[in-house]
Amino acid sequence: MSVVAIDQVHKRYGALEVLKGVSLSVDTGQVVAIIGRSGSGKSTMLRCINGLEAFQSGSITVAGHDVQQEPTKLRELRKDVGIVFQSYNLFPHLTVSQNITLSPRITQGVKAADAEVIARRVLSQVGLLEKFDAYPDMLSGGQQQRVAIARSLAMRPKVMLFDEVTSALDPELTGEVLLVMEQLAKEGMTMLLVTHEMSFARSVADLTVFMHQGKIWEAGPSKELFERPTTAELQAFLASGVK
C-alpha cells in the first residue's frame, strides 16, 4: 500500500518551474533513493513532501495526510514525517537528550520520564547512548548527524526523509551515518533520500529515481537502474564519476 503518493506536482519560484509534473508512489517499508544533478528538483520534491515548500498544482498524500499549507494540518503531517537535513540543526545550548526530547514533549505531550526512555531508545538505535548528556559541540559531525536522525526517530515517524545528509561529512563520518540509515532500512522504515552516494543507493534502496530538469526522468529497481540505464541522460550522469 502506498504511504507516499505524489501526483502531477508542479512547483514554481516565480517564472522558474522547478518541478514539472512529478508523480511517484512509495510503498510502506520501501527505501527510495533520489539522484540527479544539482538543480534537478530533488531537494525541492523532498521539501514539498514535508510541506516545507508549497506547490502550485497536483497533490501529495503522505501517511494518510493530504499535504496542504494550513498550519494545523502541517503540524499533524510532521508528527508522521521526519526530515533530516545536511545541516544538523541541533540546539547548541541543549544536551543531546534535551535536543531529542524537546519535540515529543512539546508537540505530543510526552511526560519527561517517558521522553527520557524514548531518547535512550533512539540513541541506542544510532549507537550513541553514551552521548546522552553531551553537548553538540562535543560531538563529531557524524555523531551530530546521527543525533539529528535520533531526534526524528523520537517522533515515531511513519516516513523518514533525508536530504543530502552526508554531503558535508568526510568519508569516515559518512560511513557511520550510512550504516545507521542501512539499519533503519532493515528495520522496515519507509525512507526517501536525496543522495550522491551511488553505492549506497544501489545496495540499500529498493527503488532509485533519477531526476533531470524538474522531472522524474527514469525510475526502477536500484540494481537494474544502475546496471542498465535506458536514457542517455542517466547514462551520462552515472558515467560522470559520481560516487
Whole-number pLDDT of residue 241: 67
> Is 107 contained in some domain?
no
Whole-number pLDDT of residue 107: 85
Contact 97, 130 (CB under 8 A): no
Structurally, the chain folds into a number of domains equal to: 1
> Is 138 contained in some domain?
no
> Is 130 contained in some domain?
no
Contact 216, 207 (CB under 8 A): no
> Is 124 contained in some domain?
no
Kindly report, residue by residue over 126-139, the tens digit of the pLDDT: 999 999 999 999 99
Q: What angle do CA 7, 10, 12 make, to 5 degrees?
A: 160
Whole-number pLDDT of residue 172: 85
Q: What average pLDDT does the segment 107-130 reach?
A: 94
Indicate the pLDDT class of residue 242, thresholds 50, 70 and 90: low
Whole-number pLDDT of residue 170: 87
pTM higher than 0.85 = yes
Domain limits at 206? 2-89+158-239
Averaged pLDDT of the chain: 93
Kindly report, residue by residue over 34-48, the tens digit of the pLDDT: 999 999 999 999 999
> Is 126 contained in some domain?
no
Contact 40, 32 (CB under 8 A): no
> Is 164 contained in some domain?
yes
Indicate the pLDDT class of residue 149, thresholds 50, 70 and 90: very high
Domain CATH number, residue 228:
3.40.50.300
> Is 131 contained in some domain?
no
Whole-number pLDDT of residue 167: 87
Residue 76 identity? E
Pick from 7, 1, 3: nearest CA to 191 = 3
Q: What average pLDDT does the segment 102-106 reach?
A: 91
Q: What average pLDDT does the segment 226-235 reach?
A: 95
Q: What average pLDDT does the segment 89-109 reach?
A: 93
Rounded CA-CA distance 188/93 in Å is 33
Kindly report, residue by residue over 5-36, the tens digit of the pLDDT: 999 999 999 999 999 999 999 999 999 999 99
